[in-house]
Amino acid sequence: MKDMIITVGMILLACILFGMIAGDHDSLRTGAKHVLEQAIRQYEGMTA
């Protein structure tokens, strides 16, 4: 019974993490994209 609870918890955690990484809205992917775009703009401003 304890093993089943741990397994279900791990599956739920994996689903939540996958949703954070691969989601379309407010995901880690979109957050990283915005940070990278901002860094590129700042770098272009420094070299121009």
Cα–Cα nearest to 26, from 38, 15, 34, 36: 34
Question: What is the model's pTM?
Answer: 0.52
Alpha helices in the chain, H assignment, sequence order: 2-22, 28-47
pLDDT bracket for residue 19 (50, 70, 90): confident
Which has more confidence, 30 or 43? 43
- Percent of the chain, pLDDT > 70? 94
Q: Is the pLDDT of residue 27 over 90?
A: no
Structural domain spans, the chain: 1-47
CA distance 22 to 24: 7
Q: Tens digits of per-residue pLDDT, 6-16?
A: 999 999 999 88
